[in-house]
Amino acid sequence: MDFEPVIGLEIHAQLLTETKIFCGCSTNFSSPPNSNICPVCLGLPGALPVLNQRVVEYGIRAGLALGCSIQEESVFARKNYFYPDLPKGYQISQYEEPLAIKGRVEYLTSGREICVRINRVHLEEDAGKSVHQGAHTTSLDYNRSGVPLIEIVTEPDIYSSSDAADFFGRLRGVLCAVGINDGNMEEGSLRCDANVSMRQVGVKELGVKVEIKNINSFKFLEKAIDYECFRQSEILSSGELIDQETRLWDATTGRTESMRSKEEAHDYRYFPEPDIPTLIVAEALVDDIRKVMPELPEERKQRFIKEFEIAEDAAGWLTQAQGLANYFEELARQSQNPVASGNWMMGTVRRYLNEHSADIDDFKIDPSELAKLIQLVDSGVISGSAAKTVFSKMAETGANAESIVEDEGLKQIADEDVLSLAVESVLKGNSEAVETYRSGKEGVLGFLVGKVMKETQGKANPKLARDLLKARLSSE
């Protein structure tokens, strides 16, 4: 029997506000443990939560960016459960009436049209953090309690592990582009639960799903889904049924392990949070936010294709992260050569970043400096291959292009008189090729240009060398 996976994601993204969702405590990630806490975020008796207006605005931005409708009225509820990192005994989260509903994310990926519907975007608070120290000690840090999150729930519209990782990456790009999340998965500001089921190919009905909790990297997301698909296929093939449960990804074993049987909504005894009134969002507020929404990655990609005439895959790669897109855009404008800028980004720069496991934001060469290098090539001062050498030196030392060209003597010979000498000597030494050319086989010109390059240790301006050769060969 052939099975295919069906996947829905639930993504938690920390909002980039300076203060928490229901109190004025700082959301700073690196503060000492338990230094950003107060009676409200600890849920001490008598403390009153007050909703942070900024959180609402950021939630609306996310909703709009994901094509959702913003609900005029949304409601906070208490989700009751006990865990040491949740001293209140409940988490405040929107439940039946979320802030935003019914969105969709559409894009092209290697020629396929993808559409993932968004079920909802709701606001909630984060819990604290248990820090396990050895086998017998656990410390609790409540700095995270009350940090604002949005939860984004997709419909089960994803059909492979690689599409899931790709989608998660795009979502990250969107959230960062609209300035509400920093995309930092290592610090946990963006994490995702994957719901995975298998169904027989050709069958419409969905299978029983398993939820894999708290995945914090694209690679793990893909691997966890792959493992889960394999595990479920084995079970189904042997005629057994899938247990609906919550599992955890174990990166060291490369497997998912059962954590608990699935909890049902009624287990949480949801009820409306009595201390927070219904959230009413005026249409005017939504309109104001819509007006100032920044360009989304997909829009930026289309603009790059049109404005800079670069290829679709290049535009896609460049717009996956804001830093990259900003870098490219500045490079293209300053060098006044968008196509060369795209090639540099896709080739040399990308390779450099990969080799150094670096991010564009840590990249030492300023776009204005790289732009000067591109212009040195365009104006014929240095050759394309010399430019690669200059680039490496720039990245290594931080020196600027002109001074490296000067110090290393990389300037091309664009002086006709000097180059003519080299041309003469090449013509003399290659009489056979000269004959061949004159007999009508002009393809041999490239060979002669190569000889001139060699004669000048690669410093001849190839175009000028070619022109001079041609002129000389047809003059007699």
- 8 binding ligand ADP? (CB under 6 A): yes
Instruction: Decide whether 116 or 381 has the Cβ nearer to ligand ADP.
Output: 116
- 93 binding ligand ADP? (CB under 6 A): no
Instruction: Restricting to residues 382-401, name those near ligand ADP by CB under 6 A.
Output: none
Cα within 13 Å of Cα(283), Cβ side = 0
Q: Binders of ligand ADP: how many residues, by CB under 6 A?
A: 15
Q: Which residue among 6, 37, 340, 373 contacts ligand ADP (CB under 6 A)?
A: 6
Pairing of strands 76-80, 271-272: antiparallel
- 147 binding Zn ion? (CB under 5 A): no
DSSP 29: T
Q: Tokens in use for 94?
A: 């929107």
Q: Give the number of other Cβ atoms within 10 Å of residue 158's Cβ.
A: 25
Q: Which residue among 154, 322, 335, 337 contacts ligand ADP (CB under 6 A)?
A: 154
Q: Which residue among 3, 29, 31, 38 contacts Zn ion (CB under 5 A)?
A: 38
Cβ proximity of 212 and 14 under 8 Å: no
CB of 109 to ligand ADP, least distance (A): 19
- 127 binding Zn ion? (CB under 5 A): no
Beta bridge partners of 258: 247
Instruction: Decide whether 34 or 436 has the Cβ nearer to Zn ion.
Output: 34
- 295 binding ligand ADP? (CB under 6 A): no
Residue 43 and residue 190: Cα distance in Å, rounded?
A: 25
Q: Which residue among 4, 151, 155, 369 contacts ligand ADP (CB under 6 A)?
A: 155
Q: Sign of torsion, CA 370 374 380 383? A: positive
- Measuring CA to CA, which residue among 304, 28, 254, 34 is closest to residue 143? 34
User: Which among 6-14, 47-55, 273-281, 452-460 is the span making contact with ligand ADP, rule CB under 6 A?
Assistant: 6-14
- 23 binding Zn ion? (CB under 5 A): yes
What lies within 8 Å, CB to CB, of 429 at 6+ separation is 451
- 12 binding ligand ADP? (CB under 6 A): no
- 156 binding ligand ADP? (CB under 6 A): yes
Q: Which residue among 25, 37, 100, 153 contacts ligand ADP (CB under 6 A)?
A: 153
Q: Which does 151 bind (CB under 5 to 8 A by kind): Zn ion, ligand ADP, none?
A: none
Instruction: Decide whether 6 or 178 has the Cβ nearer to ligand ADP.
Output: 6
CB of 143 to Zn ion, least distance (A): 10
- 99 binding Zn ion? (CB under 5 A): no
Over the range 167-202, which residues count as b (16 or more CB within 10 Å of their CB) and which as e?
bbbbbbbbbbbbebbbbebeebbbbbbbbbbbbeee
Provide the mask over 199-218, with x wherever binding to ligand ADP is found by CB under 6 A and - wherever it is not: -------xx-x---------
Q: Which residue among 6, 9, 40, 281 contacts Zn ion (CB under 5 A)?
A: 40
Residue 147 Cα distances to 76, 233, 402, angstroms: 15, 39, 49
Q: Which residue among 13, 25, 321, 434 contacts Zn ion (CB under 5 A)?
A: 25
Pairing of strands 279-280, 73-74: antiparallel
- 41 binding Zn ion? (CB under 5 A): yes
Instruction: Decide whether 25 or 121 has the Cβ nearer to Zn ion.
Output: 25
Cβ proximity of 80 and 90 under 8 Å: yes
Residue 374 Cα distances to 50, 168, 387, 393, 464, angstroms: 54, 34, 8, 15, 19
Read off the amino acid at residue 18.
Answer: E
CB of 142 to Zn ion, least distance (A): 9
Angle between helices 367-378 and 401-408 (to 10 degrees): 50
Instruction: Decide whether 40 or 176 has the Cβ nearer to Zn ion.
Output: 40
Binding residues (CB under 5 A) for Zn ion: these are: 23, 25, 38, 40-41
Binding residues (CB under 6 A) for ligand ADP: these are: 6-10, 153-156, 195-197, 206-207, 209
